[in-house]
Every structure is written in C-alpha cells, then in structure tokens.
Amino acid sequence: MKIQRTEALALNFGNEVYTNTYVSNYSGETELKFHDYQSDGAEFKLNVNVPIETARAIAKELQNDLDNYDAFQAKKAKEAVEEAVEE
C-alpha cells in the first residue's frame, strides 16, 4: 500500500482582486500576489513565489490560452453575424 498526502486549494477571485508581480534581480524568483476581500469584509492575501523559469512557462501558457480564447470568441461572433444575415 502506498500512502500519499494531497492538498488542494481552489480560489475564485472577482474582478475587484488586486494583483501584483515582482521579479527579483538578485534571486531570479518571481512573486505573484493576489489580494481581495470576502463578502463579510474578511481580507484574503495569497503570495506565490516561483523560480523565474516557472514564471516564464506560466506566462507563455497563459498567453497561449488567452490567444485561443480570443480566437474562439471571434469565431463565435462571426458565426452569430452570419446566422443573423441568413435570417
């Protein structure tokens, strides 16, 4: 039998979330900060520190995902216009 410990944390921020990034010139570590308030007024802060290589990979994947999202939305808008013209 193999025992493995797993932890998961899921966060859903709204549009009001404050974000900040910082890349250290000395250590090459990248800090990602998220700061928000819950509906009851409780403050929530999350700081994530990753090596610069990881930050570059995250940025590349995020840009790719955003490009795919934009292309999909443009395709949907084009199809909606074509359907409206056909009617």
Residue 51 has pLDDT above 90, yes or no: yes
pLDDT tens sequence across 8-25: 988 888 888 999 999 999
Residue 70 has pLDDT above 90, yes or no: yes
Confidence of residue 58 (pLDDT cuts 50, 70, 90): very high
| Alpha-carbon gap, residue 69 to 63, rounded angstroms | 10
Residue 30 has pLDDT above 90, yes or no: yes
8 touches 31 (CB < 8 A): no
Q: Where are the domains of the chain?
A: 18-86
Chain centre distance of CA 53: 17
pTM: 0.76
Give me the pLDDT at residue 19, please.
Answer: 96
| Alpha-carbon gap, residue 48 to 41, rounded angstroms | 23
